[in-house]
Amino acid sequence: MKPYLWDPWQTAAELPGRTAVVADAEHCTFAELTTRADALGRGLRSAGVEDGAVLTTDLPTGPRFFALALAALRYGYGLLPIAPSLFASGTAARLMTDARAVLHVGGTDPGPAAATAGLPVPSLTDEALASTADLGPLPSAARAGHLAYVTSGTTGEPQAVPRTRPQRPYRGVAVDHRYAAGLVFGAHVMGNPAYHLGTLGPALYALQAGSTVVVQRTWSADGFAELVDRHGADSAFLGIDQLVDAVVADRCPDRRLRVLFHGGSACPPAVKRSAIELFGPVLHEYYGTSKSTLTQITTHEWLRHPGSVGRPLPGIRIEIAEDGRTLPPGETGEICVRLRTADRDSADPELLHTGDLGFLDGDGYLFVVGRKTGTQQDGPDTAHLEYQIRLLPGVADVAVTGDTVPVCYVETLPGQQERTARKIVRAAELLGFPRPATRIVTQGTLPRTPSGKIRRAGLDTWWAATGEATA
């Protein structure tokens, strides 16, 4: 079936009682969701918020958050979700300033002091916006709104990443059946957090296509399986840390998912093979930046090109470059992208440097090695060592730090610690590194950001505080 355009207002018109969002005890229908989104659109205009202005929010993922997201898209606003944990410091305020936000939409008023003190913009609750007395005609926007995102902050402070506002009015999404989203499909199970593009992207797409979105606010492998079975889900997203949890627990739903999305960080091949055995050939991986999704790969493609993150999406070109020259297939360099016009800001260069290292194979499939760290200018980059460790059997996740002598923080699957330590030393020797410090821990031990990525900043301090012995 060819893709077709659809939006939540069409679902509300055809199936007003269809469940739109479920989050713990909270739930709403598509009629209720779109009615609230319209009320928020009116409220923003009544509050004098100009077309195209950027809003921020820390609303918990659920019906109220998705209503605000839809209001932003339909009525022409930018929306930057910010993790609630960032309000305890000055980070949230800095992100608002960097994003040129004009209003913060919160869930409480005036709210906890830590969440409201020192904000550079005024704050209103979504309830106050939705209950505005001005119930005149719905506002119109010449151009659709957009969502912006915050980087994970694994190597430093999180940064706000602006995204291009579409040139056309909001028209919904092009529904493609390969993503198992739409009126004829079951629910989409979404793990938190909403402020992470990898998690929110598939969920927001599914909602716009007409699927029910079920939010798992507190992660557990058992809880995930239970939600899939209870709501008859056909699609879901899991972060790599959650995928590993499910593999280690050997826990999958009784209901076979049609699509299980994952992305946002590198997936060790050993983990992915185990996940395919557990869930079936339904894994759908993607790679991208906060600007755009760049590549996708199905399970069947991955089995032919193990370790790849896929080929570029239509309209996107990927080049591997070093010192201003394009490298041939098989050679590693920086991943550079020529985005679609719709994804580019006027200030964006024609060739976007991602800061990631990778290579293309002879069939055009992309392999991501890691971040371009800039360490060891006269020798091998630690990203290459990290990549080789990630390929080892039994490795669940890895982060390599250090400027001259590498320090390898590695999480392993159960029973793999001793064997993995020996292979890490051998991998370092083959790449010309001095003998590394190998710090081997069991899966789920290393500190992580709320989005599930290893918190690289301060790993040495964390290790010293744990009192663990070096492997």
CB-based burial label for 15 (10 Å; 0-12, 13-18, 19+): middle
Cβ atoms 270, 413 nearer than 8 A: yes
* Rounded-to-integer distance, Cα 132 and Cα 422, Å: 65
Q: Quick one: pLDDT band at residue 377, thresholds 50, 70, 90? A: very low
Cα-to-chain-centroid distance, residue 197: 3
Q: What is the per-residue pLDDT across 255-309, written as a single tens digit (0 to 9) for each?
A: 999 999 998 788 999 999 999 999 999 999 999 887 778 999 999 999 999 999 9
Q: What is the per-residue pLDDT across 233-268, written as a single tens digit (0 to 9) for each?
A: 999 999 888 999 999 999 999 999 999 999 878 899
CB-based burial label for 448 (10 Å; 0-12, 13-18, 19+): middle
- Tell me: cis bond preceding 84? Omega within 30 of 0 counts: no
The amino acid that residue 120 corresponds to is P
User: What count of other Cβ atoms lies within 10 Å of the Cβ of residue 228?
Assistant: 26
What does the block give as tokens for 423?
């292979």
CB-based burial label for 467 (10 Å; 0-12, 13-18, 19+): exposed
Cβ atoms 421, 442 nearer than 8 A: no
Domains of the chain: 4-218 (3.40.50.12780), 387-466 (3.30.300.30)
Res 374: pLDDT: 57
Res 165: pLDDT: 87
The average pLDDT across 330-344 equals 88
Cα-to-chain-centroid distance, residue 378: 34
Q: State the distance between the two ends of the chain, measured CA to CA, in whole angstroms.
A: 54
Nearest to 143 by CA among 173, 164, 174, 126: 164
Residue with tokens 């890691």: 370
Cβ atoms 292, 343 nearer than 8 A: yes
- Tell me: cis bond preceding 193? Omega within 30 of 0 counts: yes
Q: Quick one: pLDDT band at residue 189, thresholds 50, 70, 90? A: very high
Q: What is the per-residue pLDDT across 136-165, written as a single tens digit (0 to 9) for each?
A: 788 888 899 999 888 877 777 888 887 788
Strand partners for 295: 287, 312
pLDDT at 74 over 90: yes
Percent of the chain with pLDDT over 90: 63
The average pLDDT across 383-412 equals 90
Res 149: pLDDT: 87
Q: What is the per-residue pLDDT across 190-211, written as a single tens digit (0 to 9) for each?
A: 987 777 777 899 999 999 999 9
Res 324: pLDDT: 86
Q: What is the model's pTM?
A: 0.91
Res 252: pLDDT: 95
* Rounded-to-integer distance, Cα 257 and Cα 283, Å: 9
Nearest to 33 by CA among 67, 84, 73: 67
Res 128: pLDDT: 93
Res 184: pLDDT: 96
pLDDT at 118 over 60: yes
Lowest mean pLDDT among 4-8, 18-22, 51-55, 433-437: 433-437
Percent of the chain with pLDDT over 70: 94
Lowest mean pLDDT among 68-82, 112-126, 165-179, 210-224: 112-126
pLDDT at 134 over 80: no
The average pLDDT across 106-131 equals 76
Q: Quick one: pLDDT band at residue 124, thresholds 50, 70, 90? A: very high
Average pLDDT, the chain: 89
Q: Which residue has the higher pLDDT, 71 or 381?
A: 71
Q: What is the per-residue pLDDT across 310-335, written as a single tens digit (0 to 9) for each?
A: 999 999 999 999 988 999 999 999 99
Res 380: pLDDT: 57
For 236-288, the DSSP string reads EE--HHHHHHHHHHT---SSPPSEEEEESS---HHHHHHHHHHH-TTEEEEEE
Res 376: pLDDT: 43
Q: Quick one: pLDDT band at residue 452, thresholds 50, 70, 90? A: confident
